[in-house]
């Protein structure tokens, strides 16, 4: 699937912009049935890519906030 590999190369911002254009096109009601199906499929791929990028960013943030022992950075065990 060449389209999916193209999506993987997009930045989060570019993927989101393309997804917004697709939604606008679908909402306009001007797309033919086949075009609407193709746009929906591409939009679904873009949505999954954006969600994966957000999940990765959240994991990075959590890793920054958590020290090597699994505690939130800057906290001490209870009773210490």
pLDDT value for 51:
97
Cα(9)–Cα(51) distance, integer angstroms: 14
CA-CA distance, 27 to 78, in Å (whole number)?
Answer: 54
23 dihedral zone (left: phi>0; alpha: psi -120 to 50; beta): alpha
* pLDDT at residue 71, rounded to an integer: 67
Q: Is residue 14 part of a domain?
A: yes
Residue 38 within a domain: yes
pLDDT (0 to 100) of residue 1: 42
Question: What is the residue range of 38's domain?
Answer: 2-65
Mean pLDDT by 10 residues, the chain (80 residues): 72 96 98 98 97 95 76 56
pLDDT for 2 = 41
Three-class HEC string of 35-67: HHHHHHHHHHHHHHHHHHHHHHHHHHHHHHHEC
What's the pLDDT score for residue 6? 92
Cβ within 8 Å of residue 72, ≥6 positions away:
65, 66
Residue 45 lies in a domain: yes
């Amino acid at each position: 699937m060449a389209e999916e590999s193209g999506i993987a190369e997009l930045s989060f911002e570019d993927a989101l912009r393309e997804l917004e254009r697709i939604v606008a096109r679908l909402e306009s009601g001007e797309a033919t049935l086949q075009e609407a199906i193709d746009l929906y499929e591409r939009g679904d791929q873009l949505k999954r890519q954006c969600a994966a990028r957000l999940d990765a960013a959240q994991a990075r943030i959590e890793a920054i906030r958590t020290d090597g022992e699994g505690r939130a950075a800057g906290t001490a065990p209870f009773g210490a």
